[in-house]
Chains A and B, each alone.
Chain A
Amino acid sequence: MADAPAWQDQLYDLLRQQNVTQFSYVPDAGHRILINRSIADADVHSVSVTTEEEGVALQAGAHLGGARSVLLMQSSGVGNCVNFFSLIQHGRFPFLTFVSMRGDFGEGNPWQYAMGQATQPVLEASGITCIRVDSPDEVIPAAQAACTMAFQSEQAIAVLLTQKLLGAKAFSTGDA
């Protein structure tokens, strides 16, 4: 696998500086560095969830206990979370998720379009503010803004890491 871009490590460092101590995830190539660094970091809990909605409830529980948590997921996982977003909105819990997008820029798997195109409208309908990131130099400023919005102002924030940023996954076409 090619070397990861520098922003992925910088993003992990930023989240640790922000005192995030719980990283929940469903394994995802777009979040590989964040996930692997959380696994290797003895000072954080790396929580492998079976469905993304667990990560939403985990964040609410972490906040009750005075800890900071983030959820790392793919856009398809947003669809799994919708009812649990009611806990965030009605309880006015701080919420921060980083979403690796599928089904947007250059997607080669048609199955990804329905949820990918619905991701931002679904998040916004659930009371979550979206910040889209298309280029590497925008990632850290966006993440810094998102941390302030979530942890200081107790807003619900999704940072959408688009396929312009991440690159589209290659799929076989059947062509020679």
Chain B
Amino acid sequence: MSKMSSKPGLRTGPEEKVQDGMLERRHAVKTLLGDTSDILIVTGLAGAKDDVLAAAGDVPNAYTLSGAMGAATAMGLGLALAQPDKRVIVVTGEGELLMNVGTLASVGVLNPPNLSIVCVDNERYGETGWQESHTGRGVDMAKMAEGGCIPNVRTVTKESELKDAGQMLRESNGTSFVLVKVAPTDAPSIHRSRDASWHKGRFREALLGTN
């Protein structure tokens, strides 16, 4: 019997607790990112946005999407090409990345050395009712990143792997990609203004000195 089946498992909600041996998402992302003051961050919508807000606070150097699902990585690419002396880290969920998974190929052939991608994979579409995502049914985003020609790819499932992966995200000479597998818990959401134009001006003011 194959591990994969034609129908997803039925899920009715998040898990109450982080199971033993699994990573809690807020902790995992905070540890991976470390000091965020000197990096530029673009996030996908929903959970990944909240992971970054919990790790970094409501800082101008994090551009957080609340729509345009699938746009985060290409946006990070444009930013990384425009700012070659800054480290750009995209933090997004597996559902967001799957919506435009071809972007991994667009990134891979260019291989910008200052671009890093964190895919926070809880194997669920948490925002819409916790339906099982493709990654809960056998799909491997790290293999997709490798297939997209991204040179530094790592899968993190344990606490002991976070530190090295965080170092790779900051120091790799070539695009890096970290797939971090996390427990499907419902971490409390964090409010931030959803005014994309205001955040654009704030981001540019902090980075460029002018909007």
B209 to chain A, nearest CB (A): 10
A48 in contact with B75 (CB, 8 Å): no
Q: Is A51 an interface residue (CB 8 A)?
A: yes
Binds A, one of B65-73, B128-136, B175-183, B185-193: B65-73
List, in ascending order, chain B residues with CB within 8 A of A86's CB: 67-68
Among A50, A67, A83, A91, the residue within 8 A (CB) of B103 is A50
The answer to whether the Cβ of A96 comes within 8 Å of any Cβ in the partner chain is: no
Stretch from B31-39, B139-147, B197-205 that touches the partner: B197-205
In angstroms, how far is the closest chain B Cβ from the Cβ of A63?
7
A47 within 8 A of B: yes
Q: Smallest CB–CB gap between B89 and chain A, Å?
A: 13
B155-198 residues at the A interface, CB under 8 angstroms: 196-197
Chain A residues whose CB sits within 8 angstroms of the CB of B102 once the complex forms: 49-51, 54
Which of A50, A54, A62, A90 interacts with B196 by CB under 8 Å?
A90
Instruction: Contacts A22-B81, A66-B207 given; indicate if A58 touches B74 (C-beta within 8 A).
Output: yes
A60 touching B81, Cβ below 8 Å: no
Query: Do A92 and B74 touch (CB < 8 A)?
Result: no
Q: How far is the CA of A54 from the CA of B77 in the complex (A)?
A: 9
The answer to whether A22 touches B197, judged by C-beta atoms less than 8 angstroms apart, is: no
Cβ proximity bits B2-42 to A, threshold 8 Å, 1 near / 0 not: 00000000000000000000000000000000000000101
The secondary-structure label for the interface of chain A is helix
Pairwise interchain contact A61-B74, C-beta atoms closer than 8 A? yes
- Which of A56, A62, A86 has most B Cβ within 10 Å? A62
Is there an interface contact between A57 and B196, defined as CB atoms closer than 8 Å?
A: no
Give Cα A22 to B196, complex, Å.
22
Q: How many residues of B contact A (CB 8 A)?
A: 37
Structural contact, B200 and A91, CB atoms closer than 8 A: yes
Give the docked Cα–Cα distance between A42 and B77 (Å).
18
The reply to whether A61 and B75 contact each other, CB–CB distance below 8 Å, is yes
CB-nearest residue of chain B to A46 = B110
Chain A residues whose C-beta falls within 8 Å of the C-beta of B42 in the assembled complex:
61, 64
Quick check: B68 and A69 within 8 Å, CB to CB? no
Measured between alpha carbons, how far is A91 from B73 in the docked complex, in Å? 17
In the bound complex, what is the Cα–Cα distance between A21 and B83 (angstroms)?
Answer: 12
Determine the chain B residues whose CB is within 8 A of the CB of A47 once the complex forms.
77, 81, 106, 110
| Interface 0/1 of A39-77, CB less than 8 Å to B | 000000101111101111111111111110100000000
13 contacts between A and B (CB under 8 A): A49-B106, A50-B105, A51-B100, A54-B74, A57-B74, A57-B75, A61-B78, A61-B82, A62-B79, A62-B81, A64-B78, A64-B82, A64-B207
4 further contact pairs, Cβ within 8 A, besides A49-B103, A58-B75? A21-B82, A57-B70, A64-B79, A84-B68
